[in-house]
Amino acid sequence: MVEPTFTPYRPPRIPVEEVVERSELFYELMNGRRSVRMFSPDPVPREAIEQAIATASTAPSGAHRQPWTFVLIGDPDVKRQIRQAAEEEERTNYEGGRLPDDWREALEPLGTDWHKEFLETVPWIVVVFEQRYGLDADGNRLKHFYVKESVGIACGMFIAAIHQMGLATLTHTPSPMAFLTKLLGRPENERPFAMLPIGYPADDAVVPDRQRKSLEEVIVRI
Ligand code: IYR
């Protein structure tokens, strides 16, 4: 039996007169984010991406197990291998008939296809792995809880951290992603969760002309 221990939590208190304005400012910041597929090759300091990973790792997680690993890739050769493998899978999806009709139709407005040039253009790729269970130094298994929920929240925080630096990313899930486990040499307790290419958007970047649901469409007040 482990006794719980507690430590004081005293974040600076924001006066109630300021909370609405702050909620608006943060909304404006985040509403300016778009998923980007057209990147600039301009360099981005490694430190900035590592700090964003540190931010992501502050996410809440089931039983505080933090069941995530972030693989940070800057090596052009590894990026090329990732692009090749991702394009091979996506070519089978788009041209080999592996995409179900309803999925193909849902993607049409995005104008995506099997070409993933951006995987080589970007200065950085982060591949997020979920740890289905923990492994200690002796190889003993530690149970993880709410793994997908925890890793999803961490990815959301990572995406927000990237956006607030004025950088862009794409939540990319080349399907299936199993090739990433082998290519990046990850252990058997980890599964690829998402791939996030990161860089400045290209000067001539465009994004699909799509609107977000309004607040009224997503909120239920009781
Ligand atoms: N993984 C494919 C297809 C794709 C799937 C969804 I869901 C998207 O929102 C966009 C693309 C690809 O990356 O092209």
- Confidence (pLDDT) at 127: 98
- Confidence (pLDDT) at 137: 86
Give, for ligand 1, the residue of 35, 112, 172, 179 to mutate: max count of ligand atoms closer than 8 Å to Cβ. Answer: 112
Peptide bond into 176 cis (omega under 30): yes
Statement: residue 1 has pLDDT above 90: no
Q: What CA–CA distance (Å, rounded) separates 220 from 204?
A: 39
- Confidence (pLDDT) at 52: 99
Statement: residue 206 has pLDDT above 90: yes
- Confidence (pLDDT) at 186: 97
Summarised one tens digit per residue, pLDDT across range 89-147 is 999 999 999 999 999 999 999 999 999 999 999 999 999 999 999 998 898 999 999 99
CA of 112 to the centre of ligand 1 (A): 7
Domain ranges of the chain: 37-202
Question: Looking at 72-76, 99-103, 169-173, which range is the least confident one?
Answer: 99-103
Summarised one tens digit per residue, pLDDT across range 40-64 is 999 999 999 999 999 999 999 999 9
Average pLDDT, rounded, for the chain: 97
* Sequence-separated (6 or more) residues with CB below 8 Å from residue 124: 44, 46, 49, 72, 73, 74, 197, 198, 199
Nearest in space to 87 (alpha carbons), one of 67, 114, 63, 127:
114
DSSP string, 124-142: EEEEEEEESEEE-TT--EE
- Confidence (pLDDT) at 49: 99
CA of 181 to the centre of ligand 1 (A): 19
CA of 39 to the centre of ligand 1 (A): 17
The identity of residue 26, as a single letter, is F
Q: What CA–CA distance (Å, rounded) separates 11 from 33?
A: 27
Work out which ligand 1 atom sits closest to the CA atom of 174. 1
Give the CATH H-level superfamily of domain 37-202: NADH Oxidase (3.40.109.10)
